[in-house]
Structure 1
Amino acid sequence: MPESVSKAPTINLAFTGASGAQYGLRLLQCLVAAGCRVHVMVSKAAQIVIATETDLKLPGSPSAMQKVLTEYASAQPGQVVVFGREDWFSPPASGSGEKAPLVVCPCSTGTLSAMATGASNNLIERAGDVALKERRQLILVTRESPYSQVHLENMLKLTQMGAVIMPASPGFYHRPESIEDLVDFIVARILDHLGLPQDLMPRWGEARVNAKMSRNDGFGQQD
């Protein structure tokens, strides 16, 4: 493993069976581009969704999947690591493992329910349980419509436990011209929450601040 990868910040990224595979795949590309090491977990349902919504076909074994995702994200060797669904010895499975944020993107309502109730039937659910008990950053990119009372109650419960619920509901004030622009809107918000640099879209108010600075030719000037 290159030294630059071994010293890079780690992000745990889980794909579950909700629609919106493009969000997670684009996030993977951006995390790699930002120099992060990414620990990836993919549910069986997510494999089906990815194959349905994109041209990417993920093989069943973690090692083969890792090779495909490494190439897809243009990652360095060892930068993308894929763990199996019952790999209980992987870092995300224990509070004694590496302290890293967990992003579930997209997050199915089934996964939402499992995390809200403390189920740990697979590695993704266990990783969420660990994130909550260790007070680590947990971002759940939910994708469902409409939400039932059960979904909303689970979201409230997880929010009260410290998770961030970030529905895949892109805004339009940046005047998107493509599906990619809509995907980037959500991915940019995730990167912002992770404290990672991003140039996918300007932050709210930046254009106005830059215009004022240009007009005033620096700080300390008044309109």
Structure 2
Amino acid sequence: MTHSFIVTGTDTGIGKTVFAAALAGALRARYWKPVQAGLDDGSDSERTAVLAGLPADYILPEAYRLHTPCSPHRAAEIDGVTIDPERLALPQVDGPLVVEGAGGVLVPVTRDILYADMFARWGKPVVLVARTALGTINHSLLSIEALRTRGVPIHGVAFVGDAVEDSEATIAAIGRVKRLGRLPMLAELTPAALARAFAESFDMADFA
């Protein structure tokens, strides 16, 4: 696999899926969400398919689709499902692959394995998506530390939200990570608007 990236976040609900969709669309990559927890409002795969403008076969099926909207480990227990980590091996595809985690880096996949542990197994570069709102320095640096502790390669940090120059620069400097860019909040979230915002905010050479 070439140009494979893991997209994770500092928290839930911060725009990680929107960024993952933008990256997958820009790379014309396959997209995979290993575990989907919560289906009432649709899945991240379905949202990505629309926002990225990718062919249907570029959206790979989840290994697990859980109904309860909470941490995968608990959602699986509530749904009566046992998550087998062996089923979470990275898919072998031709061309780029974008893999999206769930919530933050220390979200439990099972009672024994965290997402950060899975990232270490996969060994692919991670893009950490961080909001620019209050509290992001702490959340981002904690996430970076957790990834580094496990030897996970960090490709860089992608911010989402309004520009907060000092917070963004501080995270990059103290965390010793590349500042990839910042995806602004879009008044209208459409495939065209997202693709345009990504192209204006990020340098594709960073993902080559």
TM score, norm. by length of structure 1: 0.46
More helix by share: 1
More strand by share: 2
Determine which structure has greater relative contact order: mean sequence separation of CA pairs < 8 Å that are 6+ residues apart, divided by chain length. Answer: 2
TM score, norm. by length of structure 2: 0.49
